[in-house]
Amino acid sequence: MKSALRTRYFVSTALIAIVCGLMAGGALSTLDVGLPTVGIPSIAPTIPFPVIPALIIGVFTHWASTAGELPWMDASSRNIVLHSVAIYTTAWFFGLAAAAISMAVSSENGDFLLIIRDFAGLALMTLGARSLGAGRYAGVIPPTYVLITCFFARSHTGAINSWAWPMDRDPANPIAIITILVCLALTLGNLWRPTSHRNYPWLKLH
């Protein structure tokens, strides 16, 4: 366990997670960041601020938790992938706890459910992509998805399309909930598969 924590840069990961959590729950949690120049010109889309720390935590934690892995470890009987996911999830909880504390201290009228949704949705998207064989490039999926939602979030009536849930401040957005559930199922399914079947060489991008 000690070795797993060391090879996965757990101290740095935990620190980044806490900083991102403090950012997400602090004074900026209610801020909508304008995205100039994309989408329909008359209505510029805005991105709720908690999405940005959720992306940072997702990218960094995924890199850190998988940096020490080698391709053969996917099929190792010691289930090294499970260790990485456990560390990833722990860091995610650290971030969430920091967000809760930050929100309580700053007495900001933010929506904690929204932070949970963004953190869980984007984190599980990485793990879900990994389960489908994206390997170490799984961390790219959430930023790419957010980038695409920036382009196409708004319909011509100005409303936010429901699939572009990172742009939507409604924590109960059904597509967000479906994404979380599907990615959770993929992740759990991958972890509990027989190790000999965990490798998906035909889906490997590297």
Partner 1 sequence: MIPWYRRPAWWLFAPAAIIVTVYISANVSTDQIVAHREAAIAASSLLLFVSAPLAGVSAALEAGRERQSRGLLETKTRSELHVLWVRIWPSILSSCLVQLLAIAYLLARAGSAPDPVSWLIPIALCAALVLHSLAGYVIGQWVPTAMAVPLTILLSYVWVAFTWTVEPTQLRYMAGPVMAMCCSPAQKLDSQAPLTLLVFSLIMAVAYLGVAVIGGRRGLKNAVSALPRLVTSLVIAGFAFSVALTTGNGIGVLPGRNLAISELQCASQEPTVCLSAVQIARRDSRDLVGKTFAVFNDIGLQPVQRVEPVPAMITGDVLTSTGTAFVSMKPGMSPLEVVHSAASTYSSQLDRFTCDLQNPQKWFETRYLVQAWLDGTAAKRLLTTDEQEAIINFSLTDPTTSEALKSNLSVLNRLPEHQQAAWITSASKDLLHCKVPIMPGGNAS
CB of 137 to partner 1, least distance (A): 7
Residue type, 201: P
Site for partner 1 in 17-36 (CB under 8 A): 35-36
Contact criterion met (CB below 8 Å) for 55 and 122: yes
Instruction: Name the strand (E) or helix (H) holding 47.
Output: strand 46-48
Q: Find residue 48's DSSP bridge partners.
A: 32
Is residue 137 near partner 1 by the rule CB under 8 A?
yes
Region of 19-27, 59-67, 95-103, 162-170 interacting with partner 1 (CB under 8 A): 59-67
Contact between 117 and partner 1 per CB under 8 A: no
C-alpha span between 171 and 148 (Å, rounded): 20
Q: What are the CA-CA distances from residue 34 to residues 39, 47, 63, 93, 157 (Å)?
A: 12, 7, 28, 28, 18
Instruction: Return d(Cα 153, Cα 138) in angstroms, integer.
Output: 22
Closest CB 41 distance from partner 1, rounded Å:
8
Residue 69 vs 168, nearer CB to partner 1: 69
Q: Compute the least distance from the CB of residue 206 to partner 1, in Å.
A: 8
Q: Using the rule CB under 8 A, is 38 a contact of partner 1?
A: yes
Question: Do 146 and 47 touch, CB atoms closer than 8 A?
Answer: yes
Among 2, 3, 37, 107, binds partner 1 (CB under 8 A): 37
Interface positions with partner 1 (CB under 8 A): 35-41, 55, 59-60, 62-63, 66-67, 136-137, 139-140, 143-144, 147-148, 151-152, 205
